């Protein structure tokens, strides 16, 4: 059973002022839960360990996919194979941050990997800032949270320059290279996420800029804001597979930009390998004994309750929960039905007394750096709620 | 064995955190008359009892500060200081400057920090006392040195980035630019 600690919520006006304007979902319900999930120190440690170990496994699996040319199996669009390989070969294409979605981890349930949001993870503002603000607002101990997200990502920005060396060397080595941050105009949540990352980069010491996606200019020699200023880095909160499919000409241009070493794109193209849920099957093949993995296959599993997903489905869309006898328990529609299917053994999410289900999200930036929860029903969709945590 | 890290305070959140601390404490400004040089400071008492500025941010509202002090057990406690209180302390200190007794104009090592009044005057003389007084103070070499010593915020140390030279690019735009195709605004990629 998930134990909750009720707290005094921050009202909508204040949330907006803090920068969280998406506090109310389309159905009028509150997006931010007015309770915190109680987590023990040992449970928080276990989430941290899981994220670190899973990341190492993903890195090994990505190498395996590249060595064995398994891009088709993962549903990777053909026009991204070259950018993926190029970004993988050179450490300057540094992975800034990702978020592991996990079941279990509290109340004795084992931690199991649900998926890895490696390319365009959101819930960043909520995890890094909001759940800390909830502690602060309720006069609780600000240290009683597994939340080092802001600092960890700020440090990881420095590693764009220092790579595996000490980030203290950033000031010495940084020569004014600029990062352009972009999100889609009209989506406040994505813009706030992107601008938060920009702030982290500025705090790290980078010169930064922001430009909506549709105003960014590209040619084979570089990436520019609307004024024509060239940037050495471009962070886009926009899925790689959507670039590949919806903007194929841009995919070609980005490949040329990487080839000509004119700009580095973040998160790197290889994070699409991590993002593909097909990786779950590869991980199972490579690490059959890992305690973190649920049995996964490209074919329906036999005789077990399972979840059918699309390799690039997001927010619970196009998902089916299939009972052991083959009947469908629950399913969701969505725009991802053209992507390949993957089947993952069903894992029960921890529940509270109202039978709400909780999925843990563990942020990763060089190492595990913060925890938060999503609360919802059987399939966690975009109506699911954000719930912070407190270490007890 | 503890591996996971927490936030000791909002100060660890850098510029994002101090803006939020201000809002959560109910001390946000109602966009009063704009004075570009006004400052939001986070001042921390060191173990030796002296104060240093650890974060600094320009603000459009009145100047204000979060003072992080140590109680008798060495635990950090935070209190808020509004512009009036800051100005009162700065004026008191400025009086000492005129009398020649303020540590802000003494030569010697102030790298360990100064008293609270001195620290505030050093960090925000312009905002609190006006430019004429601030300029006069800064012309005093000791004051300038001490002001630099008392401020450890990244903001005060970082030089204003020089804007890059514009280069005309023939670059092409994507993502529905220049067409009537409106981007989907319901997407959110958190998965």
Across residues A98-122, what is the average pLDDT?
96
Q: What is the mean pLDDT of each run of 10 residues along chain B (191 residues)?
A: 67 75 66 56 88 83 88 84 92 90 83 87 86 81 83 59 47 70 49 51
Segment of A141-155, A282-296, B1-15 carrying the highest mean pLDDT: A282-296
Q: Are A317 and A335 in contact (CB under 8 A)?
A: yes
HEC sequence for B127-144:
HHHCHHHHHHHHCCHHHH
> Please, which pLDDT band fits residue A46 given cuts at 50, 70 and 90?
very high
pLDDT at residue B162 in the model: 37
> Chain A residues with CB inside 8 Å of B173's CB?
214-218
Instruction: Quote the minimal CA–CA distance from A275 to chain B in Å.
Output: 10
Contact state of A190 with B5 under an 8 Å Cβ cutoff: no
pLDDT at residue B11 in the model: 67
Nearest to A228 among B21, B168, B176 (CB): B168
pLDDT at residue B36 in the model: 41
Contact state of B189 with A190 under an 8 Å Cβ cutoff: yes
Contact state of B158 with A205 under an 8 Å Cβ cutoff: yes
Phi, psi of B31 (to 5 degrees): 30, 65
Contact state of B169 with A382 under an 8 Å Cβ cutoff: no
Q: Is the pLDDT of residue A133 over 50?
A: yes
Q: Are A156 and A200 in contact (CB under 8 A)?
A: no
pLDDT at residue B160 in the model: 36
Contact state of A128 with B4 under an 8 Å Cβ cutoff: no
Burial class (CB in 10 A: 0-12, 13-18, 19+), A283: buried
Give the residue from chain B lying closest to A44, CA to CA.
B4
pLDDT digits (tens, 9 = 90+) for A9-28: 999 999 998 889 999 998 99
- Which string of DSSP letters, residue by residue, matches A351-382? B-TT--EEEEEEEEESEEEEEEEEEESSS--T
> Please, which pLDDT band fits residue A105 given cuts at 50, 70 and 90?
very high
Question: What is the rounded (10 degree) CA torsion for A123, A127, A131, A136?
Answer: -130
pLDDT at residue B108 in the model: 76
pLDDT at residue A337 in the model: 86
Instruction: Quote the minimal CA–CA distance from B79 to chain A in Å.
Output: 13
Q: Is the pLDDT of residue A358 over 90?
A: yes
pLDDT digits (tens, 9 = 90+) for B133-182: 887 888 788 888 888 888 877 665 543 333 444 445 568 888 876 443 34
What is the Cα A203 distance to its own chain's centre? Answer: 22
Report d(CA B53, CA B57) in Å as an integer.
11
Nearest to B173 among A144, A215, A227 (CB): A215
Across residues A215-235, what is the average pLDDT?
95
Interface test with A, best of B1, B3, B4 (most A CBs within 10 A): B4
Average pLDDT, chain A: 94
Report d(CA A147, CA A72) in Å as an integer.
37
Contact state of A214 with B174 under an 8 Å Cβ cutoff: yes
**pLDDT over 70 percentage in chain A:** 100
Provide the 3-class DSSP secondary structure of residue B67.
strand
Put simply, whether A209 touches B (Cβ < 8 Å) is no
């Amino acid at each position: 059973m998930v134990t909750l600690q009720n707290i005094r919520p921050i009202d909508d006006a204040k949330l907006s002022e803090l920068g969280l304007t998406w506090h109310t979902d389309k159905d009028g319900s509150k997006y931010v839960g007015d309770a915190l999930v109680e987590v023990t120190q040992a449970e928080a440690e276990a989430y941290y360990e899981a994220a670190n170990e899973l990341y190492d496994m993903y890195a090994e699996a990505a190498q395996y996919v590249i060595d064995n040319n398994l891009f088709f199996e993962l549903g990777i669009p053909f026009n991204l194979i070259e950018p993926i390989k190029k970004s993988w070969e050179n450490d300057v294409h540094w992975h800034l941050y990702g978020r592991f979605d996990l079941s279990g981890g509290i109340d004795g349930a084992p931690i199991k990997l649900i998926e890895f949001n490696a390319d365009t993870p959101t819930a960043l503002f909520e995890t890094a800032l909001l759940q800390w603000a909830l502690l602060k607002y309720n006069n609780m101990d600000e240290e009683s949270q597994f939340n080092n997200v802001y600092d960890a990502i700020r440090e990881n920005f420095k590693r764009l320059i220092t790579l595996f060396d000490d980030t203290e060397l950033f000031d010495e080595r940084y020569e004014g290279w600029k990062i352009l941050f972009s999100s889609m105009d009209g989506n406040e949540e994505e813009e706030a996420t992107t601008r938060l990352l920009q702030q982290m980069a500025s705090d790290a010491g980078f010169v930064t800029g922001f430009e909506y996606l549709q105003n960014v200019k590209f040619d084979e020699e570089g990436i520019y804001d609307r004024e024509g200023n060239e940037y050495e880095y471009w962070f886009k909160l926009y899925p790689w597979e959507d670039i590949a499919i919806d903007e194929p000409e841009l995919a070609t241009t980005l490949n040329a930009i990487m080839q000509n070493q004119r700009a580095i794109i973040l998160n790197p193209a290889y994070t699409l390998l991590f993002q593909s849920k097909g990786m779950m099957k590869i991980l199972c093949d490579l690490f059959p004994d890992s305690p973190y993995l649920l049995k996964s296959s490209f074919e329906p599993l036999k005789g077990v309750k399972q979840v059918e997903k699309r390799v690039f489905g997001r927010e619970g869309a196009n998902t089916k929960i299939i009972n052991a006898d083959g009947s469908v328990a629950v399913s969701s529609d969505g725009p991802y039905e053209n992507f390949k299917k993957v089947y993952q053994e069903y894992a029960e999410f921890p529940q509270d007394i109202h039978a709400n289900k909780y999925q843990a999200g563990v942020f990763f930036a060089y190492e595990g750096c913060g925890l938060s929860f999503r609360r919802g029903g059987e399939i966690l969709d975009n109506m699911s709620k954000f719930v912070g945590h407190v270490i007890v | 064995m503890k591996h996971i890290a927490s936030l000791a305070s909002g100060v660890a959140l850098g510029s994002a955190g101090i803006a939020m601390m201000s809002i959560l404490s109910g001390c946000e400004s109602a966009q009063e008359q704009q004075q570009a040089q006004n400052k939001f400071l986070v001042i921390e008492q060191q173990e030796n009892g002296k104060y240093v500025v650890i974060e600094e941010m320009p603000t459009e509202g009145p100047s204000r500060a979060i003072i992080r002090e140590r109680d008798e057990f060495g635990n950090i406690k935070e209190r808020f200081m509004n512009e009036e209180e800051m100005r009162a302390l700065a004026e008191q200190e400025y009086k000492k400057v005129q009398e020649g007794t303020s540590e802000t104009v003494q030569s010697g090592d102030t790298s360990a920090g100064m008293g609270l009044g001195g620290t505030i005057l050093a960090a925000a003389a312009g905002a609190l006392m006006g430019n004429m007084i601030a300029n006069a103070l800064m012309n005093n070499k000791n004051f300038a040195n001490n002001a630099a010593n008392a401020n450890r915020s990244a903001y005060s140390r970082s030089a204003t980035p020089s804007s890059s030279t514009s280069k005309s690019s023939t670059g092409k735009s994507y993502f529905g630019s220049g067409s009537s195709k409106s981007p989907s605004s319901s997407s959110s990629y958190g998965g």
